[in-house]
Amino acid sequence: MNALPVLIIKSPVPGLLLVNGQAACEVDGVASLPVSATGDVFLLFTPYGDYLPIAMRLSFSGGDIMMRDFNHPVVAWPDNITEISLEPRPIGDALPGRIADVLHSEGAVYSLIRREGCTLLIEDEQSDEELFRLNIPGAKTGSLRELDISGENVAGALIEEEEGERLLLFSYQGERLMLLCDVSGDSIRFEGDGGVIRSVKSLGDVAGHDEMRLLERRRDGGFETVSHDFTAASQTDEIPRNARDLALALTQALALGLYDEARAYISPDYLSRVGFDEMRMFLGAFSTVEDARYSPVMRESTSLALMTYTANNAKVARVYAFESDGRGISSIKRYDAKASEGRA
Give the DSSP letter string of 303-323. EEEEEEEEETTEEEEEEEEEE
pLDDT of residue 1: 45
CA 158 to chain centre: 21
Sign of the Cα torsion 94, 96, 98, 101 reads positive
Query: Is 6-90 in CATH node 1.20.1440?
Result: no
Predicted confidence at residue 138, as pLDDT, reads: 77
Q: Side chain identity at 253, as an amino acid letter?
A: A
Minimal CA–CA distance to 202: which of 241, 276, 252, 261? 252
Which CATH class name applies to 243-343? alpha beta
pLDDT for 338: 58
* Whole-number pLDDT of residue 94: 53
| The amino acid at 45 | F
pTM of the model: 0.80
% of the chain beyond a pLDDT of 90: 63
Low-confidence ranges of the chain (pLDDT < 70): 1-2, 92-97, 233-238, 295-301, 337-344
Using only the alpha carbons of the chain, give its radius of gyration: 24
Q: What is the Cα–Cα distance from 152 to 106, expressed in whole angstroms? A: 11
How much is the pLDDT for 25? 93
User: What pLDDT, in 10s, does the model give residues 70-107?
Assistant: 999 999 999 899 999 998 987 765 555 678 899 999 88
Q: Which helix (H) or strand (E) holds 17?
A: strand 6-19
For the chain, domain boundaries = 6-90, 96-232, 243-343
Compute CA 83 distance to the chain's CA centroid, rounded to the nearest angstrom: 15
Residue 4, pLDDT score: 86
